[in-house]
Amino acid sequence: MGAHLPAVFRRPAVLWTALAAALAAAVITVLVVVPGADDDVSYLDLDAPVAGRVADLLDRMTIEEKVGQMTQVAVPAIEATPSDITELGIGSLLNGGAEAMHDTPEAWAEMIDGFQSAATASRLKIPMVYGIDAVHGNGALPGAVIFPHNIGLGAAHDPDLAAQAAAITAAETRATGVHWTFAPCVCVARDSRWGRTYESFGEDPGLAVEYAGPVVQGYQGEDLAANTSVLATAKHYVGDGGTAFGSSTTDDYLLDQGVTTLTEEELRSIHLAPFKAAVDAGVGSVMASFSSNDLGGGPLKSHADSYLINDVLKGELGFDGFVVSDWQGVDQVSEDYAEAVRTSINAGVDMVMVPFEYRRFIDTLVAEVDSGGVSEERIDDAVSRILTQKFALGLFEQPFADTTGAADIGSPEHRQVAREAAAASQTLLRNENDLLPLAADASVYVAGSGADSLGRQLGGWTASWQGGVEAVTEGTSILAGMREVAPNAAITFSENASEPIGGADVGVVVVAEDPYAEGVGDAGAGAHDMAVSEADAAAIDTVCAAVDCVVIVVSGRPIELTSHLAEVDALVAAWLPGSEGAGVADPLFGAAPYGGRLPVTWPRATDQEPMNVGDPAYDPLYPFGFGLETA
């Protein structure tokens, strides 16, 4: 989603209770019909072909109702006036980011069912679809399992494991009443200074191609209508990982929302290929990118690129789902709002993440249709695509939340898969004198900002857009994981290494980035600079000068380490391992092997970026694909 997203939304003031339940019951009575009971309303016939149901419903809709279906609104914009959902036929809602608006799945379901009651009380009783950024677990729900971010999954080189993570995420998300996730990101990160690097499976398109299909299928399952499936979104279309440093169209960010300059052949081979894999896997939606592409004729916003959306994505690749804009992405196409809307819709954007001024958007698009700026045929195409996915999700038959899976959220079985994924992602970069794995009864001195910080190991898009150092979800820190995996080890912890090291056999320093997401996380844009913090650097110096030491790096991308490695005996890239810190400890103590391989090039210095495998002058600290193994 978008970089203009507010970091914190207020908790909804409107909680639908008895009235919502009554409305829900009434609507279910109307929606769930006996096939053939009313031959004049074939779109409500459960046994009718989806294409026929869509066509029948479309024929009954006014232009205003059609445009309403193309409108996605943020909950804070409509929570005080939910009747607007009914009046305007709003097609979709989102809460924005991974904002933890409620603490329980039942509270989430109650909120969403209230809005769904308003949607299904409209003239044609069309349910809305609710989207969220469940990009590595349902980060909006405290207690849900959080998996490693994509860069860690890419390091594991196990698409089937990533598909399991997606399937569990889908189940833990659908159980709250949410139908749609804005994932997976199939971007190919070509400059690690980009704040979204950790959302990429790696710098080589082959990785994203390998993962895209299985992960899409993991989210969507065999049946989208199942209470364990969610609609997936391949994002961000297209070229977002290739933007040039300093080319951003906003003043705040140096890479996000920038320009990707390359030939069409390069765009296709590097950035388009993963989208083809996602489309081939049946992905239901694609999100347009904030960025622009310059294929030789000057920069063009992805939201305005008819050739890439209409001709290539929908035509050549055969994508039959719907294209959703990013957060206020349409607004960036032109300072003239009517022109921005007209251009984006004609370019192939089907649903617009408005997300606040929804009446303005609806009025503007209706006026564009009335004036001939946008054809009704284009509107019908967009709405048909949206309705098709709503039918596939089973929303007309079961619009309200099925929370029967809520008991499995955060279950030991789900956490075990996340632990396996974290362990598989651990990438061993140095192991002098076979220091690792550590003995199960070793005396270990632990330091560093990432050792006992669940928030840091979760990273961005967890509980809020940018994440936070103070975690608001359940999980096991790396330190706690070490104590769990090696209960016979003597473990002493001092974050800043101020306590005496004494007779420790070995030191483990866990250095970490503070959490971030796109824009704010661009290196050079603010506090995030791909460097070891002064406190963590001091901990490395202190511990590694005293005993044999292991440095574990918790980060969403490579960070500059060269000047800190003189006394380091073993080095591990832990990426952003998620909620199960025991997965980091498993290979550390030999309970699982090290086998991860670098999904991105690790530079000697940040100013070497962008640097990717195959570049003419390729001189990294560690190359793409590197990783030591242990038995």
What would the two tokens of residue 383 be? 């709405």
Strands 443-447 and 490-493, sheet pairing:
parallel
Task: Check whether the bond before 236 is cis (ω within 30° of 0).
Answer: yes
Cα 498–Cα 504–Cα 506 angle in degrees, nearest 5: 100
DSSP letter for each residue of 413-480:
HHHHHHHHHHHHH-EEEEEGGG-PSPPTT-EEEEESTTTT-HHHHH-SSSSSTT--SS--S--B-HHH
Tokens 């409209």 sit at which residue?
A: 122
Q: Is 357 a catalytic residue?
A: no
Residues contacting 26, CB < 8 A, separation 6+ = none
Residues contacting 149, CB < 8 A, separation 6+ = 135, 136, 198, 199, 459, 461, 556, 575, 576, 578
In angstroms, rounded to a whole number, what is the distance separating the alpha carbons of residues 124 and 116? 13
Strands 427-431 and 570-575, sheet pairing:
antiparallel
Of the listed 113, 518, 548, 560, which one is catalytic?
A: 518
Among 257, 240, 191, which Cα is nearest to 558's?
191
By the 10 Å C-beta count (0-12 exposed, 13-18 middle, 19+ buried), 498 is classed as exposed
Among 393, 429, 442, 450, which Cα is nearest to 581's?
450
In angstroms, rounded to a whole number, what is the distance separating the alpha carbons of residues 270 and 382? 28
Among 258, 253, 263, 309, which Cα is nearest to 286's?
309
Cα 482–Cα 137–Cα 144 angle in degrees, nearest 5: 70
The residue length of the chain stands at 631
In angstroms, rounded to a whole number, what is the distance separating the alpha carbons of residues 202 and 494? 34
Map residue 308 onto helix, strand or coil: helix
DSSP letter for each residue of 121-163:
TSTT-PPPEEEE--SSS-TTSTTS--PPPHHHHHHHT-HHHHH
In angstroms, rounded to a whole number, what is the distance separating the alpha carbons of residues 78 and 12? 10
Of the listed 305, 326, 548, 580, which one is catalytic?
A: 326
Contact 428, 627 (CB under 8 A): yes
Q: Is 223 a catalytic residue?
A: no
Residues contacting 616, CB < 8 A, separation 6+ = none
> Which residues are known catalytic residues?
326, 518
